[in-house]
Amino acid sequence: MKILVDFLETKEIEKSQIFTHLKCSVAEAYMLQFLAKRYMQGQDDVLVLELLQELYESSNYEYLEHLKELKILLELGWLHQQSFTPMKISEVTPLELLNTAVGLAPSLLKLLQDGTLDMDLPDIKPYLDHLEYLQDQFFRIELYQKMSVIRQNVHEHSLGIDRVQNKLKLLEKRIQDRVLQTSQNLVLDKFFKQKKMESKEQVIFIALLREEYSAADTSLREMNALIDLISLDEYDRIKNRSLLEDGSNLIGEGIIDYEEMLNPFGGISRSFYIVDEVLQSIIHPQKNKKVRRLKLNSLMDEQDIFELIEPETSLDDVVLNKKTEETLQNLMRQVDKEVISRLVKWGIKDKKSGIDARIIFYGAAGTGKTMTAYSLAKSLKRQVLAFDCSKILSMYVGESEKNVRKIFDTFYDLCEKTKTEPILLLNEADQFLSSRSSGIGSSADQMHNQMQNIFLEQIENFKGMLIATTNLLENIDKAFSRRFNYKIEFKKPDEDQRAKLWSKMLPADAPYEEGFDILPLSKYSLTGGQINLIIKNTAYKVAVRENPIFLLNDFIDEIQREKDANFDSEKSMGFLNK
């Protein structure tokens, strides 16, 4: 502690042993000395106003001239700031600091204790095992985190970031040298080479791996936090975002994956994690047994009940009535992972169960019920197992009750085998949900009632997320209605929405007559499904012409020709905002 005592007692501060290390002016060094003395008296933080009035003349507010020197010390990283309102030091004016509190930063305390800021780095010798190698790699992430914090609070080229950056370069060089001297297999290093992962991809992977080992704070899983870790500036952030987008090497190669969650501001954030098979191969390299997880598509040929849907559109792509959209966003909040965690913590929900929700989408055909179900699944990063409920009538008489159970038993079996949580979509569920017959009735009525009773029982005990689509909510049996958490109405689009639908659905690369305007088309009361069908029918008609140009009258003729048709019988594909 001789260096600390020397700094505290030296009258001419520029003669202290550590002055040359501070890289600051004499006046700034005296501020640090004053705070060091207060620290020794048990006072961690001091008001800036009090510090300046103690050191400088209070009359005529002379002390205000020294605020800029205090800001420099904050930028150099020798001081930390205590404030209820977080400030980015590089962006605040000196006067804003006057009524805040400051104290000695850990970097200065280390300098006062050791007389140096050099960090303990590993010797250049072979690694004994992969855990020792991981320890150095995790230390590397700590340095990246320190640089990220400094960049967000001080000038880019401050002394603080230069010090950490130099240590990081030295550490990375020593890791490389130690790997070269190591003869035994280092699983993580071998993995990086096999996957041809570049330096920034490695940093992302190690950061996520460190989160798995720490099992504590998961802040580094969030997309922006990972990008900040490897980015020097805003331009770098934009460029590095591609490393975590769909189709990137890390995601495309099945190395990492993500969950999408609704944040408090209504946006969707991504939380990343290492794919289980990869994680197990790194954490338990001595185990030769591979963790295999069956995929749903590999099991679809073994059953004839469900159609597997891989959703391509999210809720951002679907055009909906404003009230319907708000209800769906509220649903997204209800099934957010963080909300589920709170319910588990409060004892309301079983820790082992996933997200449970039973939902009815109701409204006229063509209003986008099925497409919205797919889009909701995409936003929740789920697959869809779809069942057409009209199939149940074509099954053998007397077997309907058994077949109802088979729907759910097969669903649970597929979930168990694949360890996944797809959404169960029951399309055209009117006959399941309609009011049951009263009285004795015919044998067909009794069979139908029995089938519905079994369906009601399955809905009551359903584990997971189920969406049923129906045209008329008023025909639903009250017993069924009570079993669904959410009943979401799909209304026919108004004129503004129809204009948007026409604009988005019309082929972008097709030739149109001069002055073509969609506003006359939006005057016709059509659903999204009808607009989609009319565009397709018109396109077939235009495509066979010698001069294939779309005319406004082509669409009007098709609308008039089909206007009296039974559109409700058409199966809608929904409508998209591409």
User: Same domain for 83 and 161?
Assistant: no
Which pLDDT score is estimated for 157?
A: 42
Which residue is it, tokens 């500036």? 233
Q: What percent of the chain has pLDDT over 70?
A: 83
Residue predicted with more confidence, 185 or 51: 51
Phi-psi region of 147 (alpha: psi -120 to 50; beta: other; left: phi over 0): alpha
**Mean pLDDT across the stretch 215-230?**
78
Q: Which two tokens stand for residue 87?
A: 């400030």
Is 443 exposed, middle or buried (CB count within 10 Å of its CB: 0-12, 13-18, 19+)? exposed
508 and 485 share one domain: no
Residues 526 and 462 in one domain: no
At 501, which CATH number?
1.10.8
Domain shared by 520 and 541, yes or no = yes
525-562 residue pLDDT tens: 898 889 999 999 999 999 999 999 999 999 999 998 87
- pLDDT tens readout for residues 302-344: 788 899 998 888 887 888 888 888 888 877 776 666 777 777 7
The pLDDT of 262-281, averaged and rounded, is 76
Are residues 406 and 300 located together in one domain of the fold?
yes
Whether the model clears a pTM of 0.85, i.e. scores above it, the answer is no
Residues 339-359 pLDDT 10s: 777 777 787 776 555 567 899
Mean pLDDT value across the chain: 82
Higher pLDDT, 298 or 575: 298
Residue 240 belongs to some domain of the structure: yes
Of 307, 359, 313, 309, the C-alpha closest to 489 is 359
Is residue 272 within 8 A of residue 258, CB to CB? The reply is: yes
Tell me what pLDDT residue 439 has.
55
114, 140, 159 - which closes a domain: 114
Question: Is 158 found in the same domain as 209?
Answer: yes
What pLDDT is recorded for position 323?
85
Q: Is 123 contained in some domain?
A: no
Lowest mean per-residue pLDDT among 381-385, 430-434, 488-492, 521-525: 430-434
Non-local (6+) Cβ contacts of 480 within 8 A are 432, 433, 456, 459
Average pLDDT over residues 465-491: 84
DSSP 332: H
14, 387, 426, 435 from 476: Cα distances, Å: 86, 19, 15, 6
Ranges assigned E (strand) in 86-185: 101-104
What local confidence, expressed as pLDDT, does residue 571 receive?
A: 42
Taking the C-alpha atoms of residue 350 and residue 367, their distance in angstroms, rounded to an integer, is 36
* Other beta carbons less than 10 A from residue 8's beta carbon: 15
- Answer yes or no: are the C-beta atoms of 267 and 224 closer than 8 Å: no
What pLDDT was estimated at residue 374? 92
Q: Residue 29 has what pLDDT?
A: 92
Q: Tokens representing 521? A: 């088309």
Q: How many H helices and E strands in the chain?
A: 26, 11
For residues 348 and 404, give the distance between their C-alpha atoms in angstroms, rounded to a whole number: 30
In a domain, 289, yes or no: no
Give me the number of domains the chain comprises. 4
Instruction: Give the three-state DSSP class for 104.
Output: strand
One domain for residues 321 and 400: yes
Q: Are residues 325 and 340 in the same domain?
A: yes
What is the Cα–Cα distance from 550 to 535, expressed in whole angstroms?
10
Please give the residue range of the domain that contains residue 262. Answer: 130-283
Q: Is the pLDDT of residue 276 over 60?
A: yes
Residue 121 lies in a domain: no
Residue 553 phi, psi dihedral angles, 5° rounding: -65, -25
Domain stop point among 490, 515, 540: 490
Residue 13 pLDDT: 92
Q: What is the mean pLDDT of residues 77-98?
A: 73
Tell which of 244, 259, 283 closes a domain.
283
**Separation between Cα atoms, residue 458 and residue 546, nearest integer Å:** 57
Same domain, 458 and 506: no
Same domain for 513 and 484?
no
Q: Is there a domain that residue 119 lies in? A: no
> Do 109 and 178 share a domain, yes or no?
no
Token pair in block for residue 328: 């769906």
What would the pLDDT profile of 196-214 be if each residue is shown by its tens digit? Answer: 999 999 999 999 998 888 7
Angstrom distance (rounded) from CA 453 to CA 451: 6
Per-residue model confidence as pLDDT tens digits over 47-82:
999 999 999 877 788 889 899 998 888 877 788 887
| Residues 6 or more apart in contact with residue 464 via CB below 8 angstroms | 354, 355, 356, 411, 415, 421, 422, 423, 424
* pLDDT above 60 for 121: no
Q: Does residue 411 form part of some domain?
A: yes
**Residue 120 placed within a domain:** no
418 & 508 share domain: no
pLDDT in tens, 371-425: 999 998 888 888 999 998 877 655 545 566 677 888 899 999 998 888 888 999 9
Assigned domain for 575 exists: no
